[in-house]
Structure 1
């Protein structure tokens, strides 16, 4: 995918997320859509102790200090050890951009979370930060390691995170859709700006 294509797809995804958020909160931040209510009711009906335990594991992996500090540092350190410092810079910038976009939209829309959520969380239901983080990492993996198996694992990870958020009723379904759009969009925009530079080998040992 060309630099221009990455930028346009990324900008389009972020604008789509903003449009979705605006439409969902137009009538008020406390009024979920019929789709969201129906999906939340479905999640409640299929809950089991095993499902809740698995979703709780995803909750810890996708948020807090694990997602915002530990996982990024591990990824960046691994890239530096592999002498891929440009890729490490790309990852760091992308993750920061994603977090900034997520928090900006949370403050902008201020959407209320489901009342029956099983875990505590921060302000703003839209977009889902956990899902956005997962989508950002997934898109980074796909851009840096464009292999079919990497893409498939990345898609599975993102969808599993989105499902876990609704299984815990900590987010509405549309929050997770917005999170996927923002997370992937942020990675695509930064990729459009930096990926060409990242892919330019510094020497024979550094190549993508």
Structure 2
């Protein structure tokens, strides 16, 4: 199981990097699929959708998404007496952010024009989507519940759509971000899996006794 997590995680990261190489080979601009996706996002743009996308922009990045949300998540996990889960989440989150920022510097891809929100330099890969994917995978590993995986998947999908909706990322940026963020979380999980499993069983046993 642990070996599979590492393999799947590395495969996801490699696929994300492959998209970056593809973009570079194409000149660094928009790929044909990027243009099609961007045009569709523009066609379906409505005020309500823009409001939701702006909310996701705030929650998924900046100080709120990179500092406040992780700290609150760690605090909740510690409050639930899940210290190994908190440590796993912290290591995965920091590793994901570090890798994404390094890749942004390496690829230095220009963002789309006419952005609706202010954003940093480097379009590839999407930090917001990578962060969302890391959160989705880590919480799925920690909880080991199907409904957590489903909610996490929906959150990642909404983040993917919102980044193009606000014209701050190309589709290829967001797909790569999802792969890289999820891949990092899976690979890191391998190091914590035995302790996470034992901790989760103890937590469920306490909950059963309490009920």
TM-score (norm 1): 0.94
Match of 1:56 among 36, 54, 57: 54
Matched, 1:40 2:38: yes
Structure having the larger proportion of residues in helix? 2
Note the aligned Cα RMSD (angstroms): 1.8
Gaps of 5+ in 2: 207-211
Q: 1:82 to 1:117 in 2, by over 3 A?
A: same
Runs in 1 of length 4+ with deviation above 6 angstroms?
none
Q: Secondary structure at the match of 2:181?
A: helix
Q: How far apart are 1:180 and its partner, in Å?
A: 0.3
Please give the alpha-carbon distance, in whole angstroms, between the structure 2 residues aligned to 1:138 and 1:28.
32
Question: What number of residue pairs does the alignment pair up?
Answer: 206
Show the counterpart of 1:94: 92
Aligned residue number for residue 14 of structure 2: 15
* In 1, Cα distance between equivalents of 2:201 and 2:31: 54
8 Å CA contact retained: 1:90, 1:195? no
The corresponding residue for 1:161 is 159
**TM superposition shift of 1:28:** 2.5
Partner of 1:123: 121
What is the SS of the residue equivalent to 1:200? helix
Q: Give, in whole Å, the separation in 1 of the partners of 2:154 and 2:169.
A: 19
Q: 1:181 aligns with which of 160, 174, 179?
A: 179
Q: Deviations over 1:168-202 (max 9, x none)?
A: 11000111100100100010010012222332349
Deviation at 1:206?
8.3
TM-score, normalized by length of structure 2? 0.93
User: 1:200–1:207: 8 Å Cα contact kept in structure 2?
Assistant: no
Structure 2 match to 1:138: 136
Structure 1 residue 148, shift from structure 2 partner: 1.6
Q: Which residue of 1 aligns with 2:209?
A: none
Q: Per-residue deviation at 1:205?
A: 5.6
* C-alpha distance in 2 between matches for 1:148 and 1:26: 39
Partner residue, 2:3: 4
> 78, 82, 85: which is aligned to 1:80?
78
Counterpart contact for 2:53–2:166, Cα < 8 Å = yes
Q: Deviations over 1:101-144 (max 9, x none)?
A: 11111111111110122111111111100000000000011111
Name the counterpart of 1:106.
104
